[in-house]
A and B are shown apart, each in its own frame.
Chain A
């Protein structure tokens, strides 16, 4: 199945990725080929097979007591932030 340019633009928007004008045809082509390639799964006879939820069949999600286990290290973590003020991450104005 071939994807259209409009479809790929829609996917890029959903994925929050800016794709340059010159790169767009490359993605239209390669994504179409990938989707074509994975189409072969449609022919597999999967009947009522339960979709895999975990590679180890008998694993269950562990629970733990609802206790604070992490120290507050926001200052260290925010050293990697592009812009911070008063312990808050700065982004462009969201509400006019």
Chain B
């Protein structure tokens, strides 16, 4: 029985009809993880005992004819989410001994929805990276071609779901960390509006940009999982207190009449022409299904990468000051004094990219430079947000590529940080403006004899997740790109 080929929606229906139990499902996925996950390096921790206990609890609920749309469905969490009593490393040596003492809200909510926790997925260290190569636990490999990266920072979640080792997984997105890996592994990945999902218990990177979301195999699955994750949480001061729509119910909104804006700035220099052609093809398919197209210009958007590489490091240098070797996390051996304790614990505990970003942030916030860098970046950020707001006066969503290229080779971009940072050129804008955005599969390019997936990105106004999911779902009724499975994982 190939249970791993079923979507979350299909699995839930099968569980309700008692065609299989949650324990059957869980054992099936644990078996796949045991066989296939090590070569991909997709997981930091596999929580087999916990998964079996969760599955038995879900089966008891299902036996009574109770439970919701996710009861008994196995999932995985990015290792950035605190999980009570379970190792939570953020893929850093700094937290390689950290057993979280509480559950993140996202973890708590998916648990309350009856999901089964299979494990914690590998990621770029502290979510800083676009290739999953900065992880203390080593790089993750792309199931479509194991010589290539899966994208990052949610690379383990992406590889696990793409390889059918888990039906869906959580991710976080500060500058593209859900959408870019989704694009590079043929998944549907949604970053909700800033404040839509609680950040409580999600290890902070850049607090004004960080947002949790979902990596799944279809917009329908993403809708079910996002609904179970979103909503007000008094423990996150930026959590927004507004009703969470029934995303699954709203998937039926037709494409006809949807006004789609094509972002002019996203089709210029730097975009692989083969990727651009697939994205144009997908946009044409939206038009053929009744959407109206209009070109829109967001002139400040090309500044989003430099803006991000001031704002995000600044916030990261502040957030990561909590790792001091005193209270939790890595501590160096025999410190001479307190300064030595701080410096060596942090010097040893953080990897090269994390140190680089902390230092960038420290510099741009330091006396004499604050106005020139940080304040200036927050002004440009306002211009970028205003560009989007102006566009949304004319159109319902704006679209373009998720990533300038398909998956690149392991090690291909690790020598120059700027080359790596430019991978996120199309995704960062949504984070800077706090907007929801989604990446969906829109075709394959051929490189090195391999089919490599390409993503179409849609960005909408604040709290337009229903619209983004509905447009994506309608597109997925017309296409079957999202159903393709990498060789060896079917």
Contacts and interface: CB of A to CB of B under 8 A. Distances in A.
Interface stretch (B139-147, B158-166, B335-343, B474-482): B335-343
Given A8-B359, A82-B325, A46 B380 contact: yes
Interface in A31-52: 31, 33-35, 37-42, 44, 46, 49-52
Interface stretch (B19-27, B39-47, B304-312): B304-312
Interface stretch (B70-78, B97-105, B168-176): B97-105
Contacts of B362: 11, 14-15
B119 to A, nearest CB: 20
B344 interface: yes
A3 to B, nearest CB: 8
B328 A55 contact: no
Contacts of A19: 347, 355
B328 A80 contact: yes
Contacts of A27: 355-356, 359
Interface string B377-393: 11111110100000000
Given A33-B417, A34-B356, A41 B240 contact: no
A11 B313 CA distance: 13
Contact of A80 (B99, B346, B373, B379): B99
Given A38-B373, A52-B382, A92 B363 contact: no
Contact of A91 (B326, B328, B329, B355): B326
B359 A62 contact: no
Contacts of A54: 208, 238, 434
B360 interface: yes
A93 B431 CA distance: 43
A46 to B, nearest CB: 4
B358 interface: yes
A81 B324 CA distance: 11
A56 interface: yes
A94 interface: yes
Given A18-B347, A19-B347, A79-B99, A41 B331 contact: no
Given A37-B418, A38-B373, A56 B462 contact: yes
Given A15-B362, A17-B346, A49 B379 contact: yes
Nearest to B332: A18
Given A11-B363, A41-B303, A52-B381, A34 B417 contact: yes
Contact of B363 (A35, A53, A91): A35
B416 interface: yes
A41 to B, nearest CB: 5
B101 A76 contact: yes
Nearest to B311: A52
Contacts of A18: 343-344, 346-348
A23 B193 CA distance: 39
Nearest to A62: B237
A56 B240 CA distance: 10
A30 B356 contact: yes
Nearest to A50: B382
B1 interface: no
Contact of A52 (B238, B331, B342, B385): B385
Interface string A55-66: 110010110100
Contact of A40 (B306, B350, B375): B306
B358 A56 contact: no
Contacts of A79: 99, 101
B433 interface: yes
B300 interface: yes
B332 to A, nearest CB: 9
B231 interface: no
A63 to B, nearest CB: 10
B104 to A, nearest CB: 16
Contacts of B378: 51-53
Interface string A73-96: 100110111110000010111100
A92 B359 contact: no
B266 interface: no
Interface in B212-245: 234, 237-238, 240-241
A46 B376 contact: yes
B366 interface: yes
Interface string B55-84: 000000000000000000000000000000
Given A55-B208, A82-B325, A34 B338 contact: no
Contacts of A80: 97-99, 101, 327-329
Given A16-B342, A56-B240, A82-B325, A33 B358 contact: no
Given A41-B373, A62-B234, 19 more contacts: A11-B363, A15-B355, A16-B346, A27-B356, A31-B356, A31-B360, A34-B360, A35-B363, A38-B373, A41-B303, A51-B378, A51-B382, A52-B379, A53-B378, A56-B195, A79-B101, A80-B97, A82-B331, A91-B335
A-B pairs, top 8 by smallest CB distance, nearest first, are A55-B434, A18-B347, A51-B378, A82-B331, A46-B379, A80-B328, A18-B343, A16-B342
14 contacts: A11-B363, A16-B343, A19-B347, A31-B363, A33-B418, A39-B306, A40-B306, A44-B303, A46-B383, A73-B101, A80-B99, A92-B340, A92-B341, A93-B337
